[in-house]
Structure 1
Amino acid sequence: MSQFIEMFGNPLSSKQKNELKRLGQCCIINPRRPNIALCDTDKVSFIPMPAVSEDGYLVDMADEEYGKVKKGFTYFENNDVLFAKITPCMENGKGAIAYGLTNGIGVGSTEFHVLRPINGISSPYWLLTLTRMPIFRERAAKNMSGTGGQKRVSASYLNHFMVGLPAIEEQRRFEAIYRQADKSKFGDFKSQFIEMVGDPRNNPKGWPTKRLSELAEYSIGLTYKPEQICDDGTIVLRSGNIQDGKISFSDIVRVNAPIKESLFVKEDDILMCSRNGSASLVGKVAMIPDINEPMTFGAFMTIIRSAEAKYLYLYFQSQDFRERVSEGKSSTMNQITQKMLDKVEVPFPDKDVREALSAIASQADKSKSVIQKALVYLNDIQSDELRKIA
């Protein structure tokens, strides 16, 4: 996003160098499904909402027979941009570029809008970054229709949204930078994790396994009453304080309530969202940084404390962990219980491997700090723009 702002400025501003266009002129929104020369037994990629992350990536996909999914799902193709239209997925930033689809075809949740780049006009990387900007999502949230948890962004709203459209040459230059940054910040790290540990789902290197209960202690957080919320109490960390794998203090709650010593967080504790109405939020983790005041955590959260915290922090972000705790999903409340954590068996490589992975993760954090500084600048721009609109 920092590179996006540097190259294009604020694309939502009415005063800029690029010509203002309707988003519907920059891409095809929800393109019609073409006639497809596929048999019902041919395979295509299936991507439900949980398979799309909140930081712009596909984290999972499965092959399904086309005949089983050709009706009742959203259709898309390679290089289409998926945009979650329903609350809270939209506000949380769910979206990704579809790629590597079996037979070049994907189907998925009906809660996706599909934005298809137009050749010579738009790039999928420009579209993805645009639609993931906080100000874009904030404006979309104000224009959702429906009630409660069924609010959605309409295709008509996206179609008429005004945005500054850069020249395609500039977009392609941005795409090249995005791809290179991806390799540095994301792809190389993931590939090194798989290279060094192997896919935890099948443990191809035959590492010994340990129960999570052998490696860590965990506890559920504080229950408090609404009347105990105050302006000068103890910070209570909640699911919203986990952003992109890090602790964020942009939205905090303080309480004046009795707190057991065991419920105060410590540096290098792992904070996990263990209960939430949204399945996409359950399992999110962040490590507690060096903090300068006492803090606790809410009842829908779990603190995991371990001498192997950095390695476990990486493991908790794996698909293997997601699958092992998926039994806690329900239609009303999704949760990871302590009994479920007790049953998790973790591949446990040699000490030198664990230490090397921790060092790689620490180096990645240093790179992210540069991005965070740029995001402060971005948020300042967005706040100014929102004040003008108000």
Structure 2
Amino acid sequence: SQFIEMFGNPLSLNQKNELKRLGECCILNPRRPNIALCDTDKVSFIPMPAVSEDGYLVDMTDEEYGKVKKGFTYFENNDVLFAKITPCMENGKGAIVHGLINGIGMGSTEFHVLRPINGISSPYWLLALTRMPIFRERAAKNMSGTGGQKRVSASYLDHFMVGLPAIEEQRRFEAIYRQADKSKFGDFKSQFIEMFGTVESYCKLEDLVSDTFPGEWGSEPTSENAIKVIRTTNFTNEGHLDLADVVTRDIEPKKVARKKLKQGDTILERSGGTKDNPVGRVVFFDEIGDYLLNNFTQALRPKESVNPVYLFYALYNSYNINKAAMRAMASQTTGIQNLSMSDFMSKSIVLPSRDEQNKFEQIYRQADKSK
């Protein structure tokens, strides 16, 4: 509605701004330039499941350039991805690309790429236009192919006529879009992406963690030395602990000494999960007192160089916006999903400066208080 209020209905011939071909407003499917990379250098890889239906890039993996340089679609930071195949197109899959390793991305051949032209178009204007239901409904009527293989052609996008606003108006729209994002997502998904979406430094999770260990179940308490044990039933979907029904167990003193939780630990659900919420949820441990974990969970203790809140939220955010990736890391036995810890610890985590991590913690904690 904000788009239409500012720029008018893009399907109307009565436009506030001069009609232009969309192909004049952006570069469609730009050719790959000569890239000075070795085959062993890393680039970002984005398959179709890594793009959400609500306009976000939700995940990416790093791949050797030599493995993906042929047979995939090329794009760069700030390009807009548009899913051209049914039903992804009709469902709204599309996103602005940020944070590509070495500034280069390769991905599904079922993407069209729209590259903004400096001084002419903004990626947010292009994304909003191509994600509008009325735009996609018109595109669906112009798909070619049969059955589940129907696609929107590049020619259709190239010749689509749209009123092109001045770049100043597009930038004003971009500011409104970004602010609406912040208001919409109380969990600060958009704040996280805005702050770190263009950071190009990545580390494996295992390189950010000083210690990790599974929990212990212990036995029914028979002594005064019983210790509180956190279970996955104490997890909330907001990343906090609910300890109203915490249990106590007798556990060997040497294990207690080795596995006692510290403030700032992230607790991972390594076994469990449901159909809607796969294994891999995380919560932040910020409690005072002695606690251990049960054997369905795992502690992740960040290195001193890593902000604990930042590490927790990077994992929390990753889980909530790409549950499919977590399912892919899990095996299932007797109805229980078991996370592959080797795969999980190999996850790529964006790593901004410590100052930026600390800044995010301040925003996150203030949001928590307000909430």
Residue of structure 2 equivalent to 1:343: 337
The Cα of 1:318 is off from its aligned counterpart by: 2.2
**Alpha-carbon distance between aligned partners in 2 of 1:157 and 1:130, rounded to the nearest angstrom:** 14
The Cα of 1:321 is off from its aligned counterpart by: 4.0
Conserved 8 A contact 1:74-1:112: yes
The Cα of 1:177 is off from its aligned counterpart by: 1.3
**Alpha-carbon distance between aligned partners in 2 of 1:106 and 1:164, rounded to the nearest angstrom:** 30
Residue of structure 2 equivalent to 1:211: 272
State percent identity of aligned pairs: 74
The Cα of 1:176 is off from its aligned counterpart by: 1.1
Residue of structure 2 equivalent to 1:112: 111
The Cα of 1:273 is off from its aligned counterpart by: 11
Match for 2:328 among 321, 326, 329? 326
**Alpha-carbon distance between aligned partners in 1 of 2:318 and 2:63, rounded to the nearest angstrom:** 27
Q: Against the structure 1 CA distance between its residues 316 and 157, is the aligned structure 2 distance closer, same or farther, given a 3 Å change threshold?
A: same
Residue of structure 2 equivalent to 1:61: 60
CA offsets 1:359-381 (integer angstroms, 9 cap, x no match): x99x99xxxxxxxxxxxxxxxxx
**Alpha-carbon distance between aligned partners in 2 of 1:41 and 1:194, rounded to the nearest angstrom:** 39
Residue of structure 2 equivalent to 1:102: 101
Does 1:168 pair with 2:167? yes
Give the residue type in structure 2 aligned to 1:326: A
Q: Against the structure 1 CA distance between its residues 184 and 46, is the aligned structure 2 distance closer, same or farther, given a 3 Å change threshold?
A: same
Conserved 8 A contact 2:50-2:322: no
Secondary structure at the counterpart of residue 318 of structure 1: helix
Residue of structure 2 equivalent to 1:12: 11
Q: Against the structure 1 CA distance between its residues 187 and 31, is the aligned structure 2 distance closer, same or farther, given a 3 Å change threshold?
A: farther
Q: Against the structure 1 CA distance between its residues 187 and 104, is the aligned structure 2 distance closer, same or farther, given a 3 Å change threshold?
A: farther
CA offsets 1:155-199 (integer angstroms, 9 cap, x no match): 00100011111111100111111122222323753379999559x
Give the residue type in structure 1 aligned to 2:272: R
> Greater share of helix residues, 1 or 2?
1
Residue of structure 2 equivalent to 1:35: 34
Task: Identify unmatched segments of 5+ residues in structure 1.
Answer: 219-271, 275-313, 329-335, 346-356, 365-390
Q: Against the structure 1 CA distance between its residues 204 and 144, is the aligned structure 2 distance closer, same or farther, given a 3 Å change threshold?
A: farther
Q: Against the structure 1 CA distance between its residues 123 and 339, is the aligned structure 2 distance closer, same or farther, given a 3 Å change threshold?
A: farther
**Alpha-carbon distance between aligned partners in 2 of 1:209 and 1:82, rounded to the nearest angstrom:** 33
**Alpha-carbon distance between aligned partners in 2 of 1:134 and 1:339, rounded to the nearest angstrom:** 43
Does 1:181 pair with 2:184? no
Give the residue type in structure 2 aligned to 1:35: N
Q: Against the structure 1 CA distance between its residues 65 and 151, is the aligned structure 2 distance closer, same or farther, given a 3 Å change threshold?
A: same
The Cα of 1:209 is off from its aligned counterpart by: 6.7
Q: Against the structure 1 CA distance between its residues 337 and 20, is the aligned structure 2 distance closer, same or farther, given a 3 Å change threshold?
A: farther
Conserved 8 A contact 1:46-1:106: yes
Q: Against the structure 1 CA distance between its residues 338 and 121, is the aligned structure 2 distance closer, same or farther, given a 3 Å change threshold?
A: farther
The Cα of 1:83 is off from its aligned counterpart by: 0.2
Give the residue type in structure 1 aligned to 2:89: M
Q: Against the structure 1 CA distance between its residues 65 and 166, is the aligned structure 2 distance closer, same or farther, given a 3 Å change threshold?
A: same
**Alpha-carbon distance between aligned partners in 1 of 2:13 and 2:2, rounded to the nearest angstrom:** 20
The number of aligned residues is: 241
Q: Against the structure 1 CA distance between its residues 187 and 24, is the aligned structure 2 distance closer, same or farther, given a 3 Å change threshold?
A: farther
Secondary structure at the counterpart of residue 130 of structure 1: helix
Does 1:87 pair with 2:104? no
The Cα of 1:3 is off from its aligned counterpart by: 1.7
Secondary structure at the counterpart of residue 180 of structure 2: helix
**Alpha-carbon distance between aligned partners in 1 of 2:322 and 2:74, rounded to the nearest angstrom:** 27
Give the residue type in structure 2 aligned to 1:29: L
CA offsets 1:273-332 (integer angstroms, 9 cap, x no match): 99xxxxxxxxxxxxxxxxxxxxxxxxxxxxxxxxxxxxxxx999626742343389xxxx
**Alpha-carbon distance between aligned partners in 1 of 2:116 and 2:326, rounded to the nearest angstrom:** 37
**Alpha-carbon distance between aligned partners in 1 of 2:178 and 2:76, rounded to the nearest angstrom:** 19
Conserved 8 A contact 1:52-1:58: yes
Conserved 8 A contact 1:52-1:94: yes
Q: Against the structure 1 CA distance between its residues 43 and 166, is the aligned structure 2 distance closer, same or farther, given a 3 Å change threshold?
A: same
Secondary structure at the counterpart of residue 105 of structure 2: strand
**Alpha-carbon distance between aligned partners in 2 of 1:320 and 1:207, rounded to the nearest angstrom:** 16
The Cα of 1:13 is off from its aligned counterpart by: 0.8
CA offsets 1:222-274 (integer angstroms, 9 cap, x no match): xxxxxxxxxxxxxxxxxxxxxxxxxxxxxxxxxxxxxxxxxxxxxxxxxx599
Q: Against the structure 1 CA distance between its residues 3 and 107, is the aligned structure 2 distance closer, same or farther, given a 3 Å change threshold?
A: same
Q: Greater CA radius of gyration, 1 or 2?
A: 2
Alignment of 1:178-327 (within 5 A): 178-186=177-185, 188-190=187-189, 196=239, 204-206=265-267, 211-212=272-273, 318=320, 321-326=323-328
Conserved 8 A contact 1:12-1:164: no
The Cα of 1:11 is off from its aligned counterpart by: 2.0
**Alpha-carbon distance between aligned partners in 2 of 1:112 and 1:339, rounded to the nearest angstrom:** 39
**Alpha-carbon distance between aligned partners in 2 of 1:320 and 1:80, rounded to the nearest angstrom:** 21
Give the residue type in structure 2 aligned to 1:81: V
The Cα of 1:121 is off from its aligned counterpart by: 0.7
Q: Against the structure 1 CA distance between its residues 34 and 204, is the aligned structure 2 distance closer, same or farther, given a 3 Å change threshold?
A: farther
Task: Identify unmatched segments of 5+ residues in structure 2.
Answer: 193-235, 242-263, 279-315, 340-363
**Alpha-carbon distance between aligned partners in 2 of 1:42 and 1:194, rounded to the nearest angstrom:** 37
Conserved 8 A contact 2:43-2:102: yes
Indicate the RMSD between aligned Cα atoms, in angstroms.
3.6
Residue of structure 1 equivalent to 2:157: 158
TM score, norm. by length of structure 2? 0.57
TM score, norm. by length of structure 1? 0.55
